[in-house]
Structure 1
Amino acid sequence: MAVKDKQDIALKALLEVTQAINANLSEEQLYRIYQFTLQGYLHFSKAALYAWESPQECLRKIPQSQRSQLPTTIDEQSQQILSTIQHPIRLSQTQLPSIFKVYDWIVPVIHQGKALAHVFLSTYGEEEIDLEFVQTLSNIVLVAIENKRLVRKQIEQEALQRELALAQRVQRMLLPAQIAHQDKFDLAVFYQPHRNVGGDFYDVIRISQEEVLLCIADVSGKGIGAALMMANFQASLRAIVKNTHHLPDIIHQLNELIYENTQGENFITVFLAHYHFGKKQMSYINAGHHPPFLYSAGRPIQQLSRGSTVLGCFCPLPFLEISTIEKVEKALLLAYTDGLVEIHNTQSEQYGIEKLEQFIQRNHHLPVHEFIQSLLNDLNTFCQEVQPHDDCTILCCRFF
């Protein structure tokens, strides 16, 4: 299976699970959706899960049918065997009872050194599987369920830490891990959530050899809720781009999905740009986001502000405008979230748009990685000892 197809399947699986968690479903419903995700999206032929209720009790949660031949609890001897399994392993390599040998793999679900569950899986023949992703997906579900119990016991702080740690892992996995140097453009990104997780987002989608889609976005709010909403946003964006590259269609569909999920209670600011290397042409829509800067040789610096209002507040959007810029070559695009310009110093002065524009005028010639590092140094000098109070994302792209 191609890497892109695997990523699409992983995104769909994550979207299914995060939507279920956001919907505040019961434990039984979450387990049912988790089982469907394993067998429907990840194509395992069989799946079973035993969750550790306590160090001495391990109960079957999947399958939920009372007619299952699997025991409802794990006996003491098998518990001792499971406690030694720290990594995915074939069942044939364990001493577990023969009733479990109808499965091919056992995958431990471990969070912060504690075993939450063990997942038993069967595959179709020799089909390639990603057990690391199964562990990550299982962690998401099991930590969410564990947090429900902690909340019921009023241990809210512990629950929050578990959610934040796992949401950070999910968010880092969804953001592009590496953006290599390209022969037609070069790109560098700085991403720093205010807490462990944040509501900032960026993506770079190579549509073809001649086209690339750039996106930066910021969801209202902070923390776990914003991070999960942004995870859904990315999965939706990539799913839509598979069917259309037309920017107005993409924005309209994203707005409808966000509005349906939040009912206008949350919103997302988005900057979406399409660049064609052969035509040296950039089209963009700015949906309520801080206007990126475009520095192009022989032209005044531009702020890319046209487009629409924020996504998720109105459906349909009250207005929408797509802008196209010709002859974009030897150009520098700087997109960012509000955490960059709203950071302040000891005198409560913001860094601001004006200082950022002046910095671009002085340093536009630098390679993109050096440009971002120099900008961060300038911010540190300006802020002195003041800590940032918001997420900050900087996306810098140079078109050759």
Structure 2
Amino acid sequence: MAGLNLINRIIELQRMAASSLNQAMAKCQLFNDFTTEEIQLILQASTVRKLSAGEVLIDYGCSNDTLYLLVEGKISIVLEKDGTQISIPIEVGECLGEMSLVLGLPTSAYARAEQASRVLCISESSFWSHIAMTQKGVRNLMSIMAGRLRRSNHSLMKELEDQLKYQHLQKEIANAGKIQASIVPDGDKLLLNRPAVDAYALINQARVVGGDFYDALMLDDENLYIAIGDVSGKGMPAALLMMRTFTSLRLLAGNNPGFRQVIPSVNRMLANNNDNMMFVTIFAGVLHLRTGVLRFVNGGHNPPYISLNRGDFQLMDLPGGTLVGIDPDAEFPISELQLHPGDALVLYTDGITEAMNAERKMFGTSHLGRVLNRRPHASMKDLVQFLEQEVENFVGNAPQHDDFTVLGLQYRGPSK
């Protein structure tokens, strides 16, 4: 039976190859620079699905293990909230489902066939083996996602201008904030099954959507990727750039275990067509859990606080570094730090140090250090939550003008 299914699959693919499939491949940005042999290898492991008009291909809030390529017809990605729909068209040769596949999160919208359509279904294993693990595949995928985010922003604003009143706009922005929050890992559940580290993080947004982010992700059994970032500007533009930066960092970190090319690649991508001169500050690196070696890059971000040999937290002596996204040719040297069991890092954004009270006095970097040292030997969760409370007490009833984000990480040593 398995052999018969395989034969039928190949026959179906061969039948399509002379017409619509070839046309789709010719238009498909995902396969730019792929050889005919590489494409055929992907096709042989894929299936074709036919959709009738109105049929849902991807449902909202569901797990997804497939990358879809539109071969024939027309599909729309639809965001829906409180009866208002925002539709983003997908044309022949474009793919969809890549965001949920890459991030491993439930889908944030649904995809519906607008007319009779056919899609090529590329399995998760084939996606990671033949596309995402190649440099050209990562480059093509980042370009597709960047274009999709730009089109999403354009479609969102057009629909809002045409359809929504002010109060509906607020509801849609709130929904965007939930989508944005869903891509950042839960700070209370970071690395729960990794005894080599203790980690906790939080984001306190000044608006429904914002430009701060953090990340902590195991790249394999021994390498832990961590990052914190702050996008210039406010509101939706900052939120879109934040999501673009976040997903690009994840993709590149997974394909560059040495981490040397990660920030330079993100910088070049963001600097292209950056007419608004927006930028990102980033501190990111990879911690090797067995040896305790942290390889990191500082792209114009606030230097972290570090506690070595279970001593007081001290501000790391780092150059400020270059802002990410301004100069495509900027250099981002990589540094190394040897951590020992008990050593801890606290990464933060300037929303902490620039938090202002009613007297317009800032919280300050020195104050931050003093607060951290009032909680010696605390867990990362206790330390970060204590810092959050101290900032809130300091600010009082004064309005919050900027997001603030904190990521605490303690290295406990390799697992026995």
Provide TM-score, normalisation by structure 2: 0.63
Q: Which whole-Å CA distance do the structure 2 matches of 1:149 and 1:264 have between them?
A: 23
Instruction: Quote the residue 1:314 is aligned against.
Output: 327
Aligned counterpart in structure 2 of residue 278 of structure 1, from 290, 315, 335: 290
Q: Deviations over 1:5-35 (max 9, x none)?
A: xxxxxxxxxxxxxxxxxxxxxxxxxxx99xx
Give the residue type in structure 2 aligned to 1:111: K
Give the CA deviation at 1:327: 3.8
Instruction: Quote the residue 2:178 is aligned against.
Output: 169
* Distance change (3 Å), C-alpha of 1:47 and 1:193: farther
* Distance change (3 Å), C-alpha of 1:292 and 1:43: farther
Point out where structure 1 has 5 or more consecutive residues left out of the alignment.
1-31, 34-39, 51-59, 63-85, 89-106, 120-128
1:1-400 → structure 2 map (5 Å cutoff): 45-47=49-51, 110-114=80-84, 133=107, 135=109, 145=155, 147-152=157-162, 157-158=166-167, 160-177=169-186, 178-181=189-192, 182-263=194-275, 265-297=277-309, 301-304=313-316, 305-306=318-319, 308-317=321-330, 319-400=331-412
RMSD: 3.9
* Distance change (3 Å), C-alpha of 1:136 and 1:347: farther
Give the CA deviation at 1:49: 6.3
* Distance change (3 Å), C-alpha of 1:136 and 1:180: farther
* Distance change (3 Å), C-alpha of 1:346 and 1:259: same
Give the residue type in structure 1 aligned to 2:409: C
Give the residue type in structure 1 aligned to 2:368: L
Instruction: Quote the residue 1:74 is aligned against.
Output: none
Q: Which whole-Å CA distance do the structure 1 matches of 2:340 and 2:262 have between them?
A: 23
Give the residue type in structure 1 aligned to 2:82: Q
Q: Which whole-Å CA distance do the structure 2 matches of 1:399 and 1:259 have between them?
A: 34
* Distance change (3 Å), C-alpha of 1:258 and 1:108: closer
The aligned length equals 302
Q: Which whole-Å CA distance do the structure 2 matches of 1:384 and 1:202 have between them?
A: 25
Instruction: Quote the residue 2:92 is aligned against.
Output: none
Give the CA deviation at 1:258: 0.7
Q: Which whole-Å CA distance do the structure 1 matches of 2:309 and 2:354 have between them?
A: 28
Instruction: Single out whichever of 173-182 and 349-358 deviates more from structure 2.
Output: 173-182
SS of match in other structure, 2:346: strand
**Contact 1:282–1:325 (CA<8 Å) still a contact in 2?**
yes
SS of match in other structure, 1:348: coil
Q: Which whole-Å CA distance do the structure 1 matches of 2:60 and 2:396 have between them?
A: 45
Q: Deviations over 1:149-207 (max 9, x none)?
A: 44247x67356425412321221221113424221101111112211110001111212
Point out where structure 2 has 5 or more consecutive residues left out of the alignment.
1-26, 29-42, 62-76, 90-100, 113-148
Q: Which whole-Å CA distance do the structure 2 matches of 1:321 and 1:161 have between them?
A: 42
* Distance change (3 Å), C-alpha of 1:260 and 1:111: same
Give the CA deviation at 1:274: 1.8
Q: Which whole-Å CA distance do the structure 1 matches of 2:337 and 2:109 have between them?
A: 45
Q: Which whole-Å CA distance do the structure 1 matches of 2:209 and 2:308 have between them?
A: 34
Q: Which whole-Å CA distance do the structure 2 matches of 1:176 and 1:194 have between them?
A: 19
